[in-house]
Amino acid sequence: MYSQQRPLSYAPTPYSYTPNPARSATINLDEEVKLISNSGERDLYESLAEIYSIIVTLDGLEKAYIKDVVTEAEYTETCTRLLKQYKSSLGDDTVAQKFVDLETFKRTWGLECPRATERLRIGLPATVEQASHNTSTSNNTSSGGGGIGGASGSLILAATENFITFLDALKLNMVSKDALHPLLSEVIQSVNKVTDGEFENRGKIIQWLIALNQMRATEELSDDQARELAFDIEQAYQGFKATLN
């Protein structure tokens, strides 16, 4: 016969726990748990939550565009707004410091969103990155004769002026991202309204937009980079003018 084994003295039993009255008295199940200690922390985490929602929404928008669920015009407008909101949220130094970078933020909060990641890396809607035939055709038809495929003189003039404005900005030593990126975005958007076709060195505009987008807002180009940028955009301008003939 096996003798009944007595529990070891240090092993807990169902009856061995004695609650601490003092500790129990301090716990109030109805008390609100504070996750933040001040308004600054609240603003910070609200901003991070907004960035999270922007990334998720942008990923859904990219999928909808690929599946042709939204029109090009709707996609372009919504994507442009989301990209601006993303950049605006990261304009705050405290938020940017906590955010670190996109890959770190995604790891921290368990995000994948590959399509949104690529769109944020490029910093342009797909319809701007690659000239949209439908959008361009619509603009050309409504604007009436002249120019490429019927593009009006006003659209050609606007594109020309945007090229010149950008090149003048470089001559004035405006070499920071926050100065150049908006101007170069205007260049490609105005060009796309004139022609949906490729022209010599158009790809250089997109490459520089992506490069500028990956810089910090206040980061500046070196002298060599600025000269290279000026050369490439001047060549793109000449390629654009060649299509007008």
Token pair of 75 as six digits: 């996609």
136 Cβ contact partners less than 8 Å away, ≥ 6 residues apart: 149, 192, 193, 194, 195, 196
Backbone angles phi, psi at 150, to 5 degrees: 95, 5
Mean pLDDT across the chain, nearest whole number? 83
DSSP 24-52: HHH--TTSPPPS-SSHHHHHHHHHHHHHH
178 inside domain: yes
Q: Is the domain of 233 the same as that of 144?
A: yes
pLDDT of the chain, 245 residues: tens digit per residue: 555 555 555 445 554 455 555 555 565 666 665 556 677 788 899 999 999 999 999 999 999 999 999 999 999 999 999 999 999 898 888 999 999 999 999 999 999 999 999 999 999 999 888 764 444 334 444 444 444 555 678 999 999 999 999 999 999 999 999 899 999 999 999 998 898 888 899 999 999 999 999 888 789 999 999 999 999 999 999 999 998 87
In whole angstroms, how far apart are CA 211 and each of 9, 109, 219?
69, 26, 12
Where in the sequence is the domain holding 76, given as residue range(s)? 40-127
189 inside domain: yes
219 Cβ contact partners less than 8 Å away, ≥ 6 residues apart: 176, 177
Report the largest interatomic distance among the alpha carbons of the chain, rounded to a whole angstrom: 108
pLDDT value of residue 134: 41
Tell the burial category of 138 from Cβ atoms under 10 Å away from its Cβ (0-12, 13-18, 19+): middle
180 inside domain: yes
Domain count for the chain: 2
161 inside domain: yes
CA distance 74 to 65: 9
> What global pTM score does this model have?
0.70
pLDDT value of residue 138: 40
Residue where one domain finishes, among candidates 95, 127, 159: 127
Backbone angles phi, psi at 220, to 5 degrees: -115, 150
CA distance 78 to 57: 10
179 inside domain: yes
CA distance 86 to 74: 18
For residue 197, give the DSSP letter: S
pLDDT value of residue 92: 87
DSSP 62-75: HHHHHTT-S-HHHH
Residue where one domain finishes, among candidates 127, 149, 176: 127
CATH code of the domain containing 166: 1.20.120.1130
Which amino acid is residue 117, in one-letter code?
T
Task: Look at the alpha carbons of 130, 132, 133, 139 in this order and tell me if their dihedral is positive or negative.
Answer: negative
CA distance 164 to 175: 15
Token pair of 182 as six digits: 């908006």
pLDDT value of residue 27: 55
pLDDT value of residue 41: 84
CATH code of the domain containing 79: 1.20.1440.200
pLDDT value of residue 91: 85
Q: Is the domain of 238 the same as that of 211?
A: yes
Q: Is the domain of 100 the same as that of 145?
A: no
CA distance 178 to 215: 9
32 inside domain: no
Residue 2, SS3 per DSSP = coil
CA distance 167 to 184: 10
Q: Provide the β-strand partners of residue 176.
A: 220
